[in-house]
């Protein structure tokens, strides 16, 4: 096994070297910004734009130019390039798990994802929704990522990190652009972007329609395989493929006039297949529907009165998810009778979220920039329906086992997995950026959140930034964050292996960091940081009931570098190391990579050609305590992208990309279960895939 891996690594290095050696500058004075875009500013660290190197956080900015250069087709491919962030996948249709600094669980509530600064969190599980089906990238202007706590500004779930997706404005689109993409797994996408004027309004619009059959990698054995061995049945679909297809519609509208901006969005997924199966038993028949509708109205006046910059915002988020699933296949028998049509569960749920917030900057005190904020939100899981053909029966010596009901029965109400619940959250925060000497800035902030269902939590942060030299900046950072218990953890019923606990308190994390940024020459940028964190009151299941129990300690470092070899060539990359320990067992926290290495080369040649190659290396993923399977295999992938346009081809540009060029075997950890009902060989990720894209602007 070592020899093929060595050959592939050597081939990857050869590709990088060839690109640099052959990419000679042309006579045109095109800057590397055409490839990378403006990465020098960030806004989510304080709420106002400021230089990235001086921001009071360890952060990353990814631009639309980055996304185009690497040939990314969805958000997950983009986020995998961030140091300290690895994208794993869950059993729920391979929904993404954004593991930051070793922190990542199945529903992934530890990461707060924002769109234009507004949370897109489901209150049901604390994630971004069970019916995800990817997120397209054509309407993304930039992505800002904080690695580390952000609760002092953003409240719940800004625990291990914050991801803010900023969509394109009318000025950034500047006209009409249409595009189409064809690719592996029968992937088809078409989209249109428009930015311009409508009377006195600036208008930006986006529409995308797509479908895919998804990668169909083989699962050799699944949960049903183990059950077949125990019961003498032959019901499993394994060996069999993962099913990851879906149909997609995405749309957005952005209207702005003077100090006002209205945005609306739609994300709709239909016929979403079940991947490895919700119970880790292959489910080729399962289908899900998901629809999220968003709207927000913002008033922003940077000169509201003397020294005051004021923002007021109202937002609405509606989420509806319906899943028709075969949890275990026809012929399943747990010892209480066979399921001739399979063990069927059909959970439906509806959520509604309303938010109102106001914030203001005050600059009337010399050397200080103060920010104040206040807000309220209402999270309402207002409707739940469920039908199923099984009921749990208590069996001495075995706990509770599912027994067939004979037909699918509507159990909405007391018999469902959950009844409707809602919570109200009120919050207030304050922040001061104090430039107390010419080269030193101290940023301090604190936020208090009060939850109607479990009480209050207060979270501070402190950051000291020193401009040690004209080309060196150093930072010391400390902060505390929290994760609110989700409704699944609080109120889940009628599931004997995952019961809720209304007495739960939030998880907390305290983090300290030190970072330095150095630009030794005008073409070389180096960044490094080290971190330490302590998680407490971790929510996990003890005897199948959610409990606050245990703690976790993590340490690590992250290093980034970029070098403009010439006006046409840039080399960049990052390396992250982390070690996270479950304090109760003194064992590795599990599943997250200890080592993550990412290398990238960009080059421009001819009049209108661009090329990109990426190498992504993941290593050192141990199992969680109690999971006796061998260590998760290391892997590395190579991606290659070529783009042509627009200098000699009018308004056209074309992109051809190959992902996982050498068809490496990539596995992500499957959840372990003491019952023995799980996929023992982990989740297989897509092999080699290719895409071709064309765009036209007018």
Written in H, E and C, the secondary structure of 249-268 is EEEEEEEEECCEEEEEEEEE
φ, ψ of residue 12 in degrees (nearest 5): -65, -45
What pLDDT is stored for residue 269 in this prediction?
98
CA distance 156 to 458: 11
CA atoms within 13 A on the CB side of 588: 18
What pLDDT is stored for residue 38 in this prediction?
66
pLDDT digits (tens, 9 = 90+) for 629-641: 999 999 999 999 9
pLDDT band at residue 17 under the 50/70/90 scheme: very low
CA distance 644 to 606: 10
What pLDDT is stored for residue 675 in this prediction?
85
Average pLDDT, the chain: 92
Inter-residue contact 615 to 637 (CB < 8 Å): yes
Per-residue pLDDT, averaged over 408-436, amounts to 96
pLDDT band at residue 650 under the 50/70/90 scheme: low
What pLDDT is stored for residue 397 in this prediction?
78
Give the other-Cβ count within 10 Å of 1's Cβ.
Answer: 7
What pLDDT is stored for residue 166 in this prediction?
97
pLDDT digits (tens, 9 = 90+) for 427-482: 999 999 999 999 999 999 999 999 999 999 999 999 999 999 999 999 999 999 99
Per-residue pLDDT, averaged over 167-195, amounts to 97
Per-residue pLDDT, averaged over 556-578, amounts to 97
What pLDDT is stored for residue 20 in this prediction?
42
Per-residue pLDDT, averaged over 409-425, amounts to 95
Both structure tokens of 550:
């245990």
Angle at CA of residue 237, ends 349 and 401, nearest 5°: 55
Which range is most confident: 34-48, 320-334, 491-505? 320-334
Q: Which CATH architecture has domain 2-697?
A: Beta Barrel (2.40)
Per-residue pLDDT, averaged over 650-672, amounts to 95
Q: What is the value of pTM for the model shown? A: 0.94
Buried b (16+ CB within 10 A) or exposed e, 559-568: bbebebbebb
CA distance 154 to 151: 5
- 13 by DSSP, 3-state: which? helix
Residue 34 clears pLDDT 60, i.e. is over it: no
Per-residue pLDDT, averaged over 259-275, amounts to 98
Per-residue pLDDT, averaged over 189-213, amounts to 97
Residue 28 clears pLDDT 50, i.e. is over it: no
Q: Percentage of the chain surpassing pLDDT 90? A: 85
Residue among 162, 164, 212 nearest 189 (CA): 212
pLDDT band at residue 25 under the 50/70/90 scheme: very low
The 3-state secondary structure of 604-672, one letter per residue: EECCCEEEEEEEEEEEEECCCCCCCCCCECCEEEEEEEEEECCCCCCCEEEEEEEECCCCCCCEECCCC
Q: Where are the beta strands (DSSP E) in 233-342?
A: 240-241, 246-257, 260-272, 287-305, 308-328, 332-333, 338-339
Residues 678, 682, 686, 688, Cα dihedral to 10° = -150
Per-residue pLDDT, averaged over 65-89, amounts to 96
Q: Find residue 162's DSSP bridge partners.
A: 112, 146
pLDDT band at residue 6 under the 50/70/90 scheme: very low
pLDDT band at residue 3 under the 50/70/90 scheme: very low
293 Cα distance to chain centroid: 19
Residue owning tokens 């949890």: 327
């Amino acid at each position: 096994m070592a020899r093929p891996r060595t050959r592939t690594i050597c081939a990857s290095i050869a590709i990088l070297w060839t690109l640099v050696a052959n990419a000679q500058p042309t006579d045109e004075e095109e800057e590397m910004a055409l490839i990378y875009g403006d990465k020098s500013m960030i806004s989510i660290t304080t709420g106002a734009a400021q230089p990235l190197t001086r921001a009071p956080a360890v952060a990353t900015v990814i631009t639309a130019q980055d996304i185009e250069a690497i040939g990314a087709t969805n958000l997950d491919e983009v986020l995998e390039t961030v140091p300290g962030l690895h994208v794993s996948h869950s059993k729920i249709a391979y929904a993404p798990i954004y593991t930051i600094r070793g922190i990542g669980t199945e529903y992934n509530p530890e990461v707060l994802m924002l769109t234009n600064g507004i949370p897109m969190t489901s209150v049901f599980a604390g994630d971004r929704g069970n019916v995800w089906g990817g997120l397209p990238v054509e309407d993304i202007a930039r992505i800002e990522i904080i690695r580390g706590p952000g609760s002092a500004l953003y409240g719940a779930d800004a625990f291990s990190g914050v991801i803010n997706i900023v969509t394109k404005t009318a000025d950034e689109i500047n006209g009409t652009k249409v595009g189409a993409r064809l690719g592996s797994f029968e992937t088809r996408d078409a989209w249109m972007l428009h930015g311009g004027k409508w009377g006195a309004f600036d208008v930006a619009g986006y529409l995308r329609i797509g479908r895919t059959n998804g990668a169909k990698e083989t699962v050799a054995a699944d949960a049903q395989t183990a059950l077949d061995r125990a019961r003498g049945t032959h019901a499993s679909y394994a060996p069999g493929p993962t099913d990851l297809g879906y149909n997609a519609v995405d749309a957005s509208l952005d209207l702005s006039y003077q100090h006002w901006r209205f945005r609306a969005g739609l994300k709709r997924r239909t016929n979403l297949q079940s991947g490895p199966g919700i119970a880790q038993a292959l489910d080729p028949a399962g289908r899900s529907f998901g629809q999220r509708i968003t709207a927000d109205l913002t008033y922003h006046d940077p000169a509201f009165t003397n020294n005051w910059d004021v923002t007021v915002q109202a937002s609405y988020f509606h989420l509806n998810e319906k899943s028709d699933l075969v949890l275990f296949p026809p012929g399943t028998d747990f010892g209480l009778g066979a399921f001739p049509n399979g063990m069927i569960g059909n959970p439906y749920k509806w959520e509604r979220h309303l938010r109102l917030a106001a914030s203001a900057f005050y600059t009337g005190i010399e050397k200080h920039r103060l920010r104040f904020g206040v807000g309220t939100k209402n999270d309402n899981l207002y409707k739940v329906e469920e039908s199923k053909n099984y009921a749990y029966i208590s069996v001495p010596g075995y706990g509770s086992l599912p027994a067939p009901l004979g037909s699918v029965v509507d159990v909405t109400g007391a018999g469902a997995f959950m009844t409707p619940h809602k919570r109200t959250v009120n919050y207030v925060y304050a922040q001061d950026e104090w430039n107390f000497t010419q080269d030193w800035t101290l940023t301090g902030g604190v936020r208090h959140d009060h939850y109607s269902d479990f009480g209050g939590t207060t979270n501070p942060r402190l950051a000291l930034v020193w401009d040690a030299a004209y080309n060196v900046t150093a930072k010391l950072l400390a902060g505390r964050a929290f994760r609110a218990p989700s409704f699944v953890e609080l109120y889940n019923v009628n599931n004997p292996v995952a019961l809720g606990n209304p007495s739960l308190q939030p998880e907390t994390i305290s983090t300290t960091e030190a970072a330095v940024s150095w630009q030794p020459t005008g073409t070389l940028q180096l960044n490094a940081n080290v971190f330490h964190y302590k998680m407490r009151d971790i929510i996990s299941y003890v005897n199948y009931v959610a409990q606050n129990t245990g703690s976790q300690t993590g340490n690590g470092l992250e290093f980034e570098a970029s070098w403009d070899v010439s006006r046409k060539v840039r080399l960049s990359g990052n390396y992250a190391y982390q070690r996270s320990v479950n304090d109760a067992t003194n064992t590795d926290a599990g599943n997250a990579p200890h080592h993550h290495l990412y290398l990238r080369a960009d080059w421009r040649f001819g009049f209108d050609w661009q090329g990109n190659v990426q190498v992504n290396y993941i290593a050192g993923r141990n199992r969680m305590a109690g999971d006796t399977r061998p260590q998760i295999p290391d892997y590395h992938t190579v991606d290659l992208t070529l783009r042509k346009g627009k200098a000699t081809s009018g308004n056209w540009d074309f992109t051809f990309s190959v992902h996982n060029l050498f068809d490496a075997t990539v596995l992500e950890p499957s959840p372990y279960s003491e019952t023995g009902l799980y996929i023992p060989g982990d989740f297989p990720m897509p092999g080699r895939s290719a895409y071709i894209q064309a765009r036209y602007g007018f």
